[in-house]
């Protein structure tokens, strides 16, 4: 998440990010370096390249996600001879956002970048993003904006203006080790509710296992708040709403299950990796994770000899999930020629054909309705139902808050959740009340 760009914090923040960007590159997840892993450069001569408009595209994450992005960039470069896109890996979302901000301040921002959806508001309102409304209206017949899934468009607009197009989008889903459930005598169709998750976890504990290893991730918490009928912020975005009964219920639930050894809640930078490891090693039967992990998780399940099924996150009073992932945005300081090139590239990357490709290769949601309705994906879903769960779950999805202060608010909330769970003397209500008091000071500015 990016920091709030206030006059007070921006100066401090820029010192930090500029220092962080001082090296020539950091190692990515797959061992590549940030500015050297642009395997999408066209194999053209220097003279041919000089005739093209050259733009930079900065992206987040490695492994299969990176493979998909570089494949699509390579396809774009080979599809025409007027534009050359140089793709550069910049770490995770936090790293990417900080580097884009620093590069923008230095007058050297990429023309196109991934942008995590909840950060769209702060980037757009700071003037860093190019509004896309005019481009979309001009090319409406080619773009077909109405073809994008409505459930994924909530974070594309800021103050009723279009600033991004859905790209690699996701929701959290439930991953189940069906083999463990069957061995424990549990119905593999469940758990479908919080109560069932608790019941399943009690049975698994008797077998020497745990129900779930789950980090106190803000994205998962947002889902549980939605399932309880609550909101993270007030309707006007000016105050916290997570300290209402609907926001406290998830923390009480997690604390109860954790204190009884039914689930495990790791903390720290490796919390997510710990959850993945416990699930892969069949210590825990369930995990919450992005739909972007379907392909990789299927490979892990096959390699470790167990059956994987995906499902909606269990409901409380209802189902509910936040959307996540990134959209493609255009920075505002490029030349008009570069902006036109960037727009052509964004349209290519978000096309029906490419949304089908990246969904099948990684597991991210197919962002276009025409993709979901295509014979190719219908066949894919029939053969691999694990991929379709997130698409169906979009019925219960909601956008993430985009107030400028929200990235900072999420950090405050996460710290409060962890304190409430780890400290027996700290009541969830008290922890969230304290977090709300801090959040309100940021949100009211």
Residue 354, both tokens: 């490419």
Rounded Cα distance between 387 and 390, Å, is: 7
Residue closest to 323 by CA, chosen among 235, 245, 412, 391 = 391
pLDDT digits (tens, 9 = 90+) for 209-242: 999 999 999 999 999 999 999 999 999 999 999 9
Where helices occur in 80-212 by DSSP H, the ranges are 93-105, 120-125, 133-138, 140-143, 178-183, 194-206
268 by DSSP, 3-state: which?
Answer: coil
Could you give the C-alpha distances from 407 to 75, 189, 219, 244, in angstroms and in order? 34, 36, 12, 20
Residue 41 has a pLDDT of: 43
244 by DSSP, 3-state: which?
Answer: coil
Residue 114, both tokens: 């991934």
Rounded Cα distance between 205 and 404, Å, is: 43
Phi-psi region of 91 (alpha: psi -120 to 50; beta: other; left: phi over 0): left
pLDDT digits (tens, 9 = 90+) for 294-340: 999 999 999 999 999 999 999 999 999 999 999 999 999 999 999 99
- Strands in 111-184 per DSSP E: 112-116, 157-158, 161-162, 165-170, 172-177
Q: pLDDT grade, residue 14 (50/70/90)?
A: very low
Residue 271, both tokens: 């919390």
Helix (H) or strand (E) holding 284: strand 284-290
Helix (H) or strand (E) holding 328: strand 324-330
Q: Is the dihedral of CA 196, 200, 203, 206 positive or negative?
A: negative
Residue 371 has a pLDDT of: 97
349 by DSSP, 3-state: which?
Answer: helix
Q: Are strands 112-116 and 324-330 parallel, antiparallel or unpaired?
A: antiparallel
Rounded Cα distance between 121 and 424, Å, is: 37
pLDDT digits (tens, 9 = 90+) for 111-141: 999 999 999 999 999 999 999 999 999 999 9
Sheet of 112-116: strand order equals 83-89, 53-59, 112-116, 324-330, 165-170
Residue 425 has a pLDDT of: 95
324 by DSSP, 3-state: which?
Answer: strand
CA 177 to chain centre: 23
Provide CB contacts within 8 A for 217, sequence distance 6+: 271, 272, 288, 414
Q: pLDDT grade, residue 445 (50/70/90)?
A: confident
Q: What is the mean pLDDT of residues 360-372?
A: 95
Residue 6 has a pLDDT of: 39
pLDDT digits (tens, 9 = 90+) for 376-406: 999 999 999 999 999 999 999 999 999 999 9
Q: What is the mean pLDDT of residues 433-445?
A: 96
Q: pLDDT grade, residue 50 (50/70/90)?
A: low
Q: Which residue has the higher pLDDT, 363 or 181?
A: 181
Phi, psi of 58 (to 5 degrees): -105, 135
Helix (H) or strand (E) holding 289: strand 284-290
pLDDT averaged over the chain?
89
Helix (H) or strand (E) holding 56: strand 53-59
Residue 186 has a pLDDT of: 98
Q: pLDDT grade, residue 15 (50/70/90)?
A: very low
Residue 151 has a pLDDT of: 87
Q: Which residue has the higher pLDDT, 378 or 26?
A: 378
Asked if 76 and 303 count as a contact pair (C-beta separation under 8 A), the reply is no
Q: pLDDT grade, residue 350 (50/70/90)?
A: very high
Residue 220 has a pLDDT of: 97
Q: pLDDT grade, residue 43 (50/70/90)?
A: very low
Provide CB contacts within 8 A for 82, sequence distance 6+: 52, 53, 341
Residue 2 has a pLDDT of: 36
Residue 32 has pLDDT above 50, yes or no: no
Asked if 391 and 291 count as a contact pair (C-beta separation under 8 A), the reply is no
CATH class in words for 7-170+324-398: alpha beta
Q: Are strands 165-170 and 172-177 parallel, antiparallel or unpaired?
A: unpaired
Residue 359, both tokens: 């969904």
Rounded Cα distance between 303 and 306, Å, is: 8
- Topology at the third CATH level for domain 172-322+405-443: D-Maltodextrin-Binding Protein; domain 2 (3.40.190)
Q: Which residue has the higher pLDDT, 4 or 256?
A: 256
Q: What is the mean pLDDT of residues 66-74?
A: 97
Could you give the C-alpha distances from 277 to 173, 192, 227, 273, in angstroms and in order? 17, 24, 27, 6
Residues of the chain with CATH 3.40.190.10: 7-170+324-398, 172-322+405-443
């Amino acid at each position: 998440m990016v920091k709030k760009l206030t006059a007070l914090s921006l100066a401090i923040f820029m010192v930090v990010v500029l220092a962080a960007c001082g090296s020539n590159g950091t190692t990515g997840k797959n061992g590549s370096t940030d500015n050297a892993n642009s395997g999408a450069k066209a194999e053209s001569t220097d003279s041919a390249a000089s005739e093209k408009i050259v733009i930079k595209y900065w992206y987040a994450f490695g492994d299969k996600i990176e493979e998909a992005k570089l494949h699509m960039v390579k396809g774009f470069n080979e599809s025409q001879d007027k534009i050359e896109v140089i793709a550069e890996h910049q770490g995770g979302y936090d790293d990417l956002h900080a580097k884009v901000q620093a590069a923008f301040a230095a007058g050297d921002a990429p023309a196109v970048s991934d942008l995590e959806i909840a950060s769209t508001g702060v980037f757009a309102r700071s003037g860093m993003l190019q509004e896309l409304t005019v481009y979309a209206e001009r090319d409406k017949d080619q773009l077909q904006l109405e073809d994008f899934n409505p459930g994924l468009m909530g974070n594309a607009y800021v103050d009723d203006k279009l600033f991004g197009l859905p790209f690699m989008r996701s929701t959290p889903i439930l991953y189940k080790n069906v083999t463990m459930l069957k061995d424990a005598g549990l119905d593999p169709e469940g758990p479908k509710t919080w109560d069932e998750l608790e019941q399943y976890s009690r049975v698994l504990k008797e077998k020497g296992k745990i129900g779930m290893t789950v980090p106190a991730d803000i994205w998962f918490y947002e889902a549980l708040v939605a399932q309880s009928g609550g909101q993270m912020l007030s309707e006007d975005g000016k105050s916290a709403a997570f300290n209402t009964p609907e926001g406290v219920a998830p923390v009480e639930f997690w604390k109860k299950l954790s204190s009884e050894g039914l689930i495990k809640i790791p903390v720290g930078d490796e919390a997510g990796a710990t959850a993945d490891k416990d699930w892969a090693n069949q210590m825990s039967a369930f995990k919450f994770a992005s739909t972007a992990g379907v392909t990789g998780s299927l490979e892990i399940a096959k390699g470790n000899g167990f059956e994987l099924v995906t499902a909606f996150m269990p409901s409380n009073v209802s189902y509910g999930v936040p959307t996540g992932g990134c959209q493609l945005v255009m920075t505002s300081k490029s030349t008009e020629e570069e902006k036109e090139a960037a727009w052509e590239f964004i349209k290519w990357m978000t096309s029906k054909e490419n949304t089908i490709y990246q969904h099948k290769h990684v597991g991210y949601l197919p962002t276009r309705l025409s993709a979901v309705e295509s014979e190719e994906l219908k066949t894919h879903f029939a053969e691999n139902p694990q991929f379709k769960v997130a698409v169906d779950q979009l019925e219960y999805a909601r956008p993430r808050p985009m107030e400028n202060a929200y990235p900072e608010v999420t950090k405050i909330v996460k710290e409060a959740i962890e304190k409430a769970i780890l400290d027996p003397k700290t009541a969830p209500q008290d922890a969230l009340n304290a977090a709300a008091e801090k959040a309100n000071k940021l949100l009211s500015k």
